[in-house]
């Protein structure tokens, strides 16, 4: 997914001289194209993420469009104060891009896991929170992000993400995409873990249970209409995300349902529990270990449809 992001960003930058890329000693192997073509719009500030964000904000305040770029928590948690006080408070045109959301960097341990970011970023005023699920969404989200005036948080996958969509779609902020149709229950997901959810939906369909599958690529602003419609039409909702249980997609969906009120709906949130994922291993293995793979999601479908 990071390849398609960098490729798309470079294509857009060729048409818009306002675009600048600011990073903190990371990205080698992917960003050389931008650095070579636009050396005067490329800044590597070294291992100084707070400075990276401040530089980007300053450039944006002068009328530019700035992208900060690094892995996992480094563009967010290490410079949260600068994101809050510089970027969001001033509504600056800065795009905060992380590579490797969730436990993409599983073998590198907790320091490289990005499992609290959605909760933290969606709590900040003025920022759009994007979590594309595959290459098609990643490309579309990049175009939408660069056209938008204001702060955007873009949670990108790492590599080898599998395509989920099998039909054309229109990508808009705050408008989810229905990947699979169904009326027995609804799964709402964000990010590449949607492939696990899709496998579970296909397996359940073979047993006569038809589950609606929704990609909530924009967690903020969330597609309230899609959530409410799913609640009214299917009465059962499962949220799936590669994130801590607190404050992420599941919390956002629950907030919509509580605000709407008077909905007879059962909800199950699937995410990492409120712990540090201290085990070291591949992303796939960690999903399985924490009951967030296709098999576990399939069992939750059967459980919620039985009750």
Looking up residue 6, the CATH number of its domain turns out to be: 3.40.50.970
* 143 and 266 part of one domain: no
CB 42 within 8 A of CB 123: no
Cβ burial 175-189 (10 Å sphere, 16+ → b, else e): ebbbbbebebbbbbb
Which pLDDT belongs to residue 288?
97
* Domain assignment present for 107: yes
pLDDT (0 to 100) of residue 99: 93
Q: Residue 27 domain-assigned?
A: yes
301 pLDDT higher than 90: yes
List 212's β-bridge partners, or say none: 186
Domain identity same for 119 and 191: no
Q: Which pLDDT band holds residue 25 (cuts at 50, 70, 90)?
A: confident
pLDDT of the residue at 30: 83
Tell me the two tokens of residue 97. Answer: 């891009």
Q: What is the pLDDT at residue 150? A: 98
Q: How many domains does the chain have?
A: 2
- Pairing type for strands 211-215 and 177-180 reads antiparallel
pLDDT tens, 92-148? Answer: 999 999 999 999 999 999 999 999 999 999 999 999 999 999 999 999 999 999 999
Q: Is the pLDDT of residue 307 over 80?
A: no
Please tell me what DSSP assigns to residue 39: G
- Looking at the structure, tell me whether residues 191 and 277 fall in a common domain: yes
Q: At what angle do helices 194-205 and 294-306 cross, to 10 degrees?
A: 50
Q: How far apart, in whole angstroms, are the C-alpha atoms of residue 97 and residue 145?
A: 10
Greater model confidence, 99 or 27:
99
Cα–Cα distance for residue pair 257/267, rounded to 1 Å? 10
Question: What is the largest distance, in Å, between two alpha-carbon atoms of the chain?
Answer: 60
Residues 6+ apart with CB under 8 A from 106: 113, 277, 280, 281, 282, 283, 285, 286
219 contacts 252 by C-beta, under 8 angstroms: yes
Q: pLDDT tens digits, residue range 42-56?
A: 999 999 999 999 999
Domain ranges, residue 85:
2-156
In this model, does residue 266 exceed pLDDT 80? Answer: yes
pLDDT at 27: 67
Sign for the pseudo-dihedral over CA of 250, 252, 258, 261: negative
Rounded Cα distance between 57 and 229, Å, is 39
- The pLDDT of residue 26: 82
Sequence-ordered list of residues with C-beta below 8 angstroms from that of 40, at least 6 positions apart, any chain: none
Rounded to the nearest integer, the mean pLDDT of the chain is 96
Task: State pTM to two decimals.
Answer: 0.96
With CA atoms as reference, report the closest residue to 274 among 245, 238, 239: 245
169 in any annotated domain: no
pLDDT tens, position by position, 177-196: 999 999 999 999 999 999 99
Same domain for 200 and 298, yes or no, is yes
* Residue 150 forms part of a structural domain: yes
Are 190 and 133 part of one and the same domain?
Answer: no
Q: What angle do CA 280, 285, 287 make, to 5 degrees?
A: 105
Statement: residue 272 has pLDDT above 90 = yes
What digits encode the pLDDT tens for the residues 149-172?
Answer: 999 999 999 887 889 999 999 999
């Amino acid at each position: 997914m990071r390849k398609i992001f960098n490729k798309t960003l470079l294509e857009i930058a060729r048409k818009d001289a306002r675009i600048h890329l600011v990073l903190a000693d990371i990205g080698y192997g992917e960003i050389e194209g931008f650095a070579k073509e636009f050396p005067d719009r490329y800044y590597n500030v070294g291992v100084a993420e707070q400075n990276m964000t401040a530089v980007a904000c300053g450039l944006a305040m002068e009328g530019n469009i700035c992208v900060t770029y690094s892995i996992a928590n480094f563009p967010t948690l290490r410079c949260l104060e600068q994101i809050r006080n510089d970027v969001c408070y001033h509504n600056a045109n800065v795009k905060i891009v992380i590579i490797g959301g969730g436990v993409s960097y599983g073998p590198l341990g907790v320091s490289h896991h990005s499992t609290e970011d959605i909760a933290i970023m969606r709590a900040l005023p003025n920022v759009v929170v994007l979590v594309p699920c595959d290459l098609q969404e990643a490309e579309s989200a990049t175009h939408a992000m660069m056209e938008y005036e204001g702060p955007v948080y873009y949670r990108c996958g790492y590599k080898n993400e599998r395509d989920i969509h099998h039909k054309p779609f229109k990508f808009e902020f705050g408008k989810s995409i229905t990947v699979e149709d169904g009326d027995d229950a609804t799964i709402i997901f964000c990010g590449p873990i949607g492939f696990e959810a899709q496998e579970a939906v296909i397996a359940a369909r073979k047993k006569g249970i038809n589950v609606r599958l929704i990609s909530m690529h924009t967690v903020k602003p969330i597609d309230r209409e899609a959530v409410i419609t799913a609640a009214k039409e299917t009465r059962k909702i499962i949220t799936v995300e590669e994130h801590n249980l607190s404050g992420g997609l599941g919390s956002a969906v629950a907030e919509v349902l509580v605000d709407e009120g008077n909905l007879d709906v059962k909800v199950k949130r699937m995410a990492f529990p409120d712990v540090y994922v201290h085990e070291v291993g591949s992303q796939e293995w960690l999903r399985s270990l924490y009951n967030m793979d296709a098999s576990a999601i399939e069992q939750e479908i059967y459980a919620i449809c039985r009750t």
